[in-house]
């Protein structure tokens, strides 16, 4: 079982997800993720602009993985910002929406 103490003791990113995809019994969903250039306000990456992902039934972790590649100009940005939208559902009823910037 993963505990807060275990996570606080981690010294590097986990090699895999810390819980199984079916452990999401309360219906938490992440709907959107964006990366933007703070100076210009331009959107560098937006999950809404990505093609649908074909998911291998033997690799359901692909459903909760975002893949992106940037060219070297990304390293020259002075500031970038991120935001994501998370919702809590119960039996397909929206309970709480959150947007983090």
pLDDT digit string, tens, across residues 26-59? 777 777 889 999 999 999 999 888 777 777 888 8
In a domain, 92, yes or no: yes
Counting the structural domains of the chain, the total is: 1
Pick left, alpha or beta for residue 4 (phi over 0 → left; psi -120 to 50 → alpha; otherwise beta). alpha
At 27, give phi and psi (nearest 5°). Answer: 80, 35
User: What 3-state class would DSSP assign to 31?
Assistant: strand
pLDDT at 6: 92
In a domain, 12, yes or no: no
pLDDT above 70: residue 100 = no
In a domain, 9, yes or no: no
pLDDT at 12: 94
Which pTM was predicted? 0.64
In which domain, by residue range, is 61 found? 21-100
Question: Would you say 84 and 33 are in contact if contact means Cβ atoms under 8 Å apart?
Answer: yes
pLDDT above 60: residue 19 = yes
Beta strands per DSSP E along the chain: 28-37, 43-46, 80-90, 93-100
In a domain, 33, yes or no: yes
In a domain, 15, yes or no: no
In a domain, 32, yes or no: yes
């Amino acid at each position: 079982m993963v505990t807060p103490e275990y996570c606080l003791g981690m010294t590097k990113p986990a090699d895999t997800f810390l819980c199984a995809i079916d452990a999401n019994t309360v219906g938490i969903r992440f709907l959107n993720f964006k990366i933007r250039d703070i100076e210009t306000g331009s959107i560098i990456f937006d999950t809404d602009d990505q093609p649908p992902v074909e998911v291998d039934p033997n690799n359901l972790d692909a459903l909760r993985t975002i893949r992106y590649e940037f060219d070297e100009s990304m390293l020259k940005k002075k500031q970038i910002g991120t935001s994501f939208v998370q919702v809590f559902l119960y039996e397909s009823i929206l309970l709480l929406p959150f947007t983090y910037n």
